[in-house]
């Protein structure tokens, strides 16, 4: 992982939310929230909350008496998320998933949407999630499957790699889609002390009104942007246009629909 892979600042949070939220994140946010409702709980912790897409799904889904603590390492993302949600059940707090500022056994459930891939030490992050869970508490998170199973992300990556053959921008393949090996995930969870680790591979369909929407989302609303701009700030528009054209060539010029796929992991603290 490059240092820039965890940088979500400037206009990135708003673009991420507007373009990628409905495109790839909301279907899995609903899935995670539905899984949390099946567990007896009063206190829920969300790590790597990003722009609050899962937080809002939890607010819509969970009973009124459930307290939600939403955290993220990235303050600009957290500020953006807090501005989108006005609900007294949610406490927003900047926190590093590797060093959570909570007492042992504070939560019934820990949930994390597409954050594990960004943790510099996943086992340490999982161990922290385990520490703050009560005995028999549940940890539920997801991670993207390999990029070849996620059509829009794969097309964007292939397109910008051709556009910039020297030092190609590979953020999407390297980080969001770089932690897809199920055996590795199970091993990391076991090392962190979790038991009853269940992994389910979940396929969904990603839809956008035009090819340009996923192109803007991936090229301008993720750290892929900084990799593209490293070749020259003026190249961002060129890369976005090329990605949109490639998506249109594959899926058409109007409404586009592609496959997305992720692993959903559920584990229990002993």
Q: Is the dihedral of CA 161, 27, 44, 70 positive or negative?
A: positive
Domains in the chain, start-ordered, CATH in brackets? 3-268 (3.40.50.150)
pLDDT of residue 4 exceeding 90? no
Whole-structure pTM value:
0.95
Specify which residues 90 forms β-bridges with: 68
Specify which residues 241 forms β-bridges with: none
pLDDT band at 5 (very low <50, low <70, confident <90, very high): low
pLDDT of residue 78 exceeding 70? yes
In tens, the pLDDT along 194-217 reads 999 999 999 999 999 999 999 999
Average pLDDT over residues 238-256: 98
In tens, the pLDDT along 89-122 reads 999 999 999 999 999 999 999 999 999 999 999 9
Q: Rounded CA gap, 35 and 262, in Å?
A: 15
DSSP 162-179: HH--SS---HHHHTTTS-
Q: Is the dihedral of CA 41, 190, 98, 102 positive or negative?
A: positive
Place of tokens 């161990």: 127
In tens, the pLDDT along 39-76 reads 978 999 999 999 999 999 999 999 999 999 999 999 99
């Amino acid at each position: 992982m490059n240092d820039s892979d965890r940088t979500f600042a400037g206009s990135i949070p708003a673009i991420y939310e507007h373009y990628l939220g409905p495109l790839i994140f909301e279907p899995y946010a609903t899935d995670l929230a539905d899984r949390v409702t099946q567990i007896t709980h009063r206190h829920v912790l969300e790590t790597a909350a990003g722009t609050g897409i899962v937080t809002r799904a939890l607010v819509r889904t969970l009973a009124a008496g459930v307290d939600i603590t939403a955290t993220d390492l990235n303050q600009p993302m957290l500020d953006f998320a807090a501005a989108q949600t006005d609900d007294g059940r949610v406490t927003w707090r900047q926190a590093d998933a590797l060093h959570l500022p909570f007492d042992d056994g504070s939560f019934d459930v820990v949930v994390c949407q597409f954050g594990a891939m960004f943790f510099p030490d996943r086992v340490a992050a999982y161990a922290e999630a385990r520490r703050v869970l009560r005995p028999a508490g549940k940890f539920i998170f997801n991670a993207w499957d390999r990029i070849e199973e996620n059509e829009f992300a794969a097309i964007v990556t292939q397109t910008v790699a051709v556009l910039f053959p020297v030092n190609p921008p590979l953020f999407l393949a390297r980080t969001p889609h770089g932690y897809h090996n199920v055996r590795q995930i199970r091993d990391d969870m076991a090392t962190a002390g979790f038991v009853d680790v269940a992994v389910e591979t979940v396929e969904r369909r990603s839809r956008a009104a035009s090819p340009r929407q996923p192109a803007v989302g991936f090229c301008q609303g993720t750290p892929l942007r900084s990799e593209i701009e490293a070749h020259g700030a003026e190249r961002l528009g060129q890369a976005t246009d090329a990605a949109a054209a490639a998506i249109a060539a594959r899926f058409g010029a109007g409404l586009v629909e592609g496959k997305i796929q992720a692993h959903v992991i559920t584990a229990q603290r002993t």
